[in-house]
Amino acid sequence: MSEKPISKTYQFNQPLKYGCNPHQSPAALYVEQGRKMPFETLNGSPGYINLLDALNAWQLVKELRQSLGLPAAASFKHVSPAGAGLAVPLDDALARAYEVQDRDLSPSALAYIRARGADPLCSFGDFAAFSDPVDRATAEILKTEVSDGLIAPGFEEGALEILKAKKGGKFIVLQADQDFEPPEMEIKELYGVLFSQRRNDALITPQSLAQVPTREKHLTPEAIRDLVCAAITIKYTQSNSVGYALGGQMIGVGAGQQSRVDCTKLAGRKVETWWLRMHPRVLDLPFKPGVKRVDRTNARVRFIEGDFTAPEYEQWKTLFDSPPEQLTLEEKSGWLKELGGVSLASDAFFPFRDSIDQAAKRGVKYILQPGGSVADEAVLNACDDYGMVMAFTGIRLFHH
């Protein structure tokens, strides 16, 4: 085992308001001696968690752009992505669900609409990241969202001025250095102990999906895109993690669970809610005039998940002239059966077939995982039972 001494020295860069919590003060940002910062603060005062979100989110979108060649965006909350998306056109139902059917979206705006729209409750108060310079159309989208800040490699004419005016001038705007080369080794201190490891520089690309041991082997171009999108997203998601993707975006992210099947269930429930938001009766909910967009979005999710006739839903009933008739279990299950072609990526191998059984309930057809478990044969047999295609990367993607 190598016992290379840690010889890095760091210099003070700037103070932070506080650490993870207000009582964790003082807090500050440092940079390795002789190395430039990977970003510049153009507006606002980023905090400890803001910067953790920003630096993870920037790596995610940069890798998506590098691997898939499409503009990418991410929506981060508490050091995990609530969503990630690519500049892939929206169909009519999804445009209505995201309430952008009348908007002319640029590629970056489209990617962010996908990233933020999949799980709007978790994206509330997010930190956004963009692989490409932010244009005016994207800035106009961000202007109306409840968000803490963003990081991007640049800003087109007029966009920066819009963003600087947000939140009374306190919206955080970071400009990433696209040419920044991170050090090979990372160092982290915890409880008086220093940990050192090589940075996770493994890049998942379409070529990473070459090993397909299931009976079904055909991966469509869309499936390859979505599997790579999901794998890169979970690379920056607190482990254990799995992610479902469809149409060039994440539709369910399960983060930080001790059990992999719990991750699959958690993310799967988000997938179900996302899909049910496109049910015709959900799209046609009769809101009163003047109801705010964020309230409409939240009400649709509450309508899907609960019973508007229950006392705890009293506040939501006021958004309508009369409470809408609830979706029946039969309506929900019938609609969910129409979901298909979904991709799922896991940051580590599946120890049992239970996650595959759960994935099958959410329309999963394609799966990507490292492989290498003693249970691989049972997991592959489960995939064959459902007619799924599974690819192995041989690369574990734990993130802590």
Q: Taking a C-beta distance cutoff of 8 angstroms, is the pair 219, 399 a contact?
A: no
**The pLDDT of residue 3:** 64
* Residue 12: pLDDT band with limits 50, 70, 90: confident
| Lowest mean pLDDT, pick from 56-65, 255-264, 308-317 | 308-317
The residue ranges of DSSP E strands in 160-305, in sequence order, are: 172-176, 185-190, 193-198, 241-245, 250-255
CA–CA gap between residue 389 and residue 400 (Å, rounded):
29
- Which residue from 2, 142, 134, 3 is spatially nearest to 58, judged by alpha carbons? 134
> What CATH fold (topology level) applies to the domain 14-176?
Cytidine Deaminase; domain 2 (3.40.140)
**The pLDDT of residue 2:** 55
CATH says 202-276+337-392 is which class? alpha beta
Tally of CB atoms within 10 A around 96: 18
Q: Could you report the per-residue pLDDT of 160-173, keeping only the tens digit for each? A: 999 999 999 999 99
State both tokens at 279.
Answer: 């049910």
Give yes or no: 400 in active site: yes
The one catalytic residue among 8, 78, 143, 164: 78
CA–CA gap between residue 241 and residue 80 (Å, rounded):
10
Is the preceding peptide bond at 71 cis, omega within 30 degrees of 0?
no
* Residue 5: pLDDT band with limits 50, 70, 90: low
Helix (H, G, I), strand (E, B) or coil at 364: strand
CA–CA gap between residue 84 and residue 230 (Å, rounded):
9
* Amino acid letter, residue 317: K
Q: Could you report the per-residue pLDDT of 29-46, keeping only the tens digit for each? A: 999 888 899 999 999 999
CA–CA gap between residue 137 and residue 183 (Å, rounded):
35
Query: Burial code of 369-393, b = ≥16 C-beta within 10 A, e = fewer?
Result: bbbeeeebeebbebbeeeebbbbbb
Q: Could you report the per-residue pLDDT of 204-216, keeping only the tens digit for each? A: 999 999 999 999 9
CA–CA gap between residue 352 and residue 375 (Å, rounded):
6
The one catalytic residue among 62, 77, 235, 270: 77
Helix orientation angle between 260-276 and 329-336, rounded to the nearest 10 degrees: 100
CA atoms within 13 A on the CB side of 83: 29
pLDDT exceeds cutoff 70 at 1: no
**The pLDDT of residue 371:** 94
Partners of 175 in beta bridges: 40, 152
pLDDT exceeds cutoff 70 at 101: yes
**The pLDDT of residue 308:** 67
Contact partners, residue 171, CB within 8 Å, separation at least 6: 43, 44, 147, 148, 149, 163, 164, 165
* Residue 4: pLDDT band with limits 50, 70, 90: low
Domains of the chain, by residue range, sit at: 14-176, 202-276+337-392, 280-326
Give yes or no: 77 in active site: yes
Q: Could you report the per-residue pLDDT of 205-247, keeping only the tens digit for each? A: 999 999 999 999 999 999 999 999 999 999 999 999 999 999 9
Q: Taking a C-beta distance cutoff of 8 angstroms, is the pair 13, 29 a contact?
A: yes
Q: Could you report the per-residue pLDDT of 106-147, keeping only the tens digit for each? A: 999 999 999 999 999 999 999 999 999 999 999 999 999 999
DSSP 8-state code for residue 281: H
pLDDT exceeds cutoff 80 at 317: no
* pLDDT average, residue stretch 58-66: 98
CA–CA gap between residue 52 and residue 58 (Å, rounded):
10
CA distances from 310 to 22, 220, 316, 318, 370 (A): 37, 45, 10, 13, 45
The one catalytic residue among 56, 166, 240, 399: 240
* pLDDT average, residue stretch 89-103: 95
**The pLDDT of residue 366:** 98
- Could you confirm whether domain 280-326 is CATH 1.10.287.440? yes
Q: Could you report the per-residue pLDDT of 343-399, keeping only the tens digit for each? A: 999 999 999 999 999 999 999 999 999 999 998 999 999 999 999 999 999 999 999
The residue ranges of DSSP E strands in 153-274, in sequence order, are: 172-176, 185-190, 193-198, 241-245, 250-255
The one catalytic residue among 4, 23, 218, 400: 400
Domains 14-176 and 202-276+337-392 share a fold: yes
Partners of 309 in beta bridges: none
